[in-house]
């Protein structure tokens, strides 16, 4: 079975400061990992993914995420937060094993609030 | 269209009624997924189509839920005898189908908000 945990319901950060949104996962094999963002009354938008290779993945809007296999984590980061980054962020995982479910398993989401 | 579209955007129905929710995926995307998102939670998997066939329907909560994709493009999620607990946002996503592993990102539609009174 695959699962994702986002331990923080909400993260508050001042504009211009670095931000981190935490995610840990559990899979049987190796993971495919994704971050999505959801703005009010909008669908989920893809930010970035980890498949293999470099542990630091760069994505849209200046976001990046660091894959840490030993800690089974995939934290989302941005060096300098913008007020417009305020939204709901979801981490998702898929197990790489051939018999694994192709659909994604999502975390419960973390609301990011960036204060001006 | 450029993205995944879903209709209707909102659906209000009465308990016990039948509803159909439609998803139009990105052209050329073979894989199609349905998820359900309840308030304050992440999306939960319902069913996955590879082409016309339902390759994985293990997320459907019970036999009141059914989905079809007869021509491998548009999909319809059907809910019979709706219950108040079915109220949620129903999301559709599509992706390219890479050989073997399926690691392509999924593109989501805006969702259909279903309210069962």
CA A18 – CA A54 distance, rounded (Å): 21
CA B15 – CA B81 distance, rounded (Å): 7
Q: Which two tokens stand for residue B2?
A: 């450029």
Is B32:B49 a contact under the CB 8 Å cutoff? yes
Note the residue count of chain B.
Answer: 117
> pLDDT (tens digit, 9 = 90+) per residue, B77-115?
999 999 999 999 999 999 987 665 557 889 999 999 999
**pLDDT value, residue B55:** 83
**First-to-last C-alpha distance (Å) of chain B:** 33
Distances (CA, A) of A60 to A36, A74, B26, B74, B76: 10, 16, 20, 29, 31
DSSP-based three-state secondary structure for A61: helix
Distances (CA, A) of A104 to A96, B24, B64: 11, 20, 23
Q: Alpha helix locations (H) across chain B?
A: none
> pLDDT (tens digit, 9 = 90+) per residue, B35-54?
999 998 999 999 999 888 88
> pLDDT (tens digit, 9 = 90+) per residue, A65-88?
999 999 999 999 999 999 999 999
Residue B14: band (very low, low, confident or very high) from pLDDT cuts 50, 70, 90: very high
A102 vs B44, B56, B108: nearest CB: B56
**First-to-last C-alpha distance (Å) of chain A:** 41
Q: Which residues of chain A have pLDDT under 50?
A: none
Residue B17: band (very low, low, confident or very high) from pLDDT cuts 50, 70, 90: very high
**pLDDT value, residue A112:** 97
CA B36 – CA B75 distance, rounded (Å): 15
- Of chain B residues 2-31, which have a CB less than 8 A from chain A? 4, 31
Nearest-CA residue of chain B relative to A43?
Answer: B110
Nearest-CA residue of chain B relative to A94?
Answer: B103
Buried b (16+ CB within 10 A) or exposed e, B26-45: beebbbbbbbbbeeeebbbb
**pLDDT value, residue A42:** 79
Contact B43 A44 (CB under 8 A): yes
**pLDDT value, residue A98:** 67
Contact B41 A43 (CB under 8 A): no
Q: Which two tokens stand for residue B72?
A: 């491998």
**pLDDT above 70 for B11:** yes
Residues in A closer than 8 angstroms to B58, CB to CB, are: 101
């Amino acid at each position: 079975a695959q699962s994702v945990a986002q331990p923080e319901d909400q993260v508050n950060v001042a504009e211009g400061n670095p931000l981190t949104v935490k995610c840990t996962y559990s899979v049987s094999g190796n993971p495919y990992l994704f971050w999505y963002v959801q703005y009010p009354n909008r669908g989920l938008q893809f930010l970035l993914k980890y498949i293999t290779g470099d542990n630091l993945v760069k994505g849209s809007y200046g976001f990046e995420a660091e894959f840490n296999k030993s800690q089974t984590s995939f934290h989302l980061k941005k060096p300098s937060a913008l007020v417009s980054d305020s939204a709901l962020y979801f981490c998702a995982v898929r197990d790489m094993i051939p018999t694994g479910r192709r659909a994604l398993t999502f975390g419960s989401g973390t609301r990011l609030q960036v204060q001006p | 269209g450029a993205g995944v579209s879903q209709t209707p955007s909102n659906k209000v129905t009465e308990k016990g009624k039948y509803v159909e929710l439609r998803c139009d995926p990105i052209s050329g995307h073979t894989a199609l997924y349905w998820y359900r998102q309840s308030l304050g939670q992440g999306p939960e998997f319902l069913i996955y189509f590879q082409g016309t066939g339902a390759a994985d329907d293990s997320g459907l909560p019970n036999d009141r839920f059914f989905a079809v994709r007869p021509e491998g493009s548009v999909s319809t999620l059907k809910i019979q005898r709706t219950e108040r607990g079915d109220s949620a946002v129903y999301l559709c996503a599509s992706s390219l189908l890479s050989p073997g592993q399926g690691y392509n990102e999924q593109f989501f539609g805006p969702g259909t908000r279903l309210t069962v009174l």
